[in-house]
Copies of this chain bind each other. A is one copy, B any other.
Amino acid sequence: MPIALLSALAEPTRLGAMQILADGQEHCVCQLMARLDASQSRMSRHMQTLKQAGLVVDRRDAQWVRYRLNPDLPGPARAILDAVLAAAATEQRTAA
């Protein structure tokens, strides 16, 4: 069931993180917290959640942990993610 995926995405900070990571680049926790205005522990925990859901992968790089989209995300999950990101993007345009 995609329940785990949906739960992971159904939270503003986590969805925000996914929108940032959607650029395909790696981002460290410190960047994410800054851009999403989240505290350190909050951001770290949310990234754990996304990782457990299989949406992202992390990599230690010196003092940083760099997160990026899970490149091996299964097709159906990837389709959900794309649809969600597209919807989120649409809304932001609408609000502008």
Contacts and interface: CB of A to CB of B under 8 A. Distances in A.
Interface string A32-64: 000000000000000000000000000000000
Interface of A is mostly: helix
B3 A10 contact: yes
B87 A80 contact: yes
A22 interface: no
Interface of A: 1-3, 5-7, 9-12, 15, 76-77, 79-80, 82-84, 86-88, 90-91
Contact of A79 (B2, B7, B15, B86): B86
A3 B14 CA distance: 10
A14 to B, nearest CB: 10
* Most B C-beta atoms less than 10 A away, residue of A11, A15, A80, A88: A80
Contacts of A3: 10-12, 15
A1 B88 contact: yes
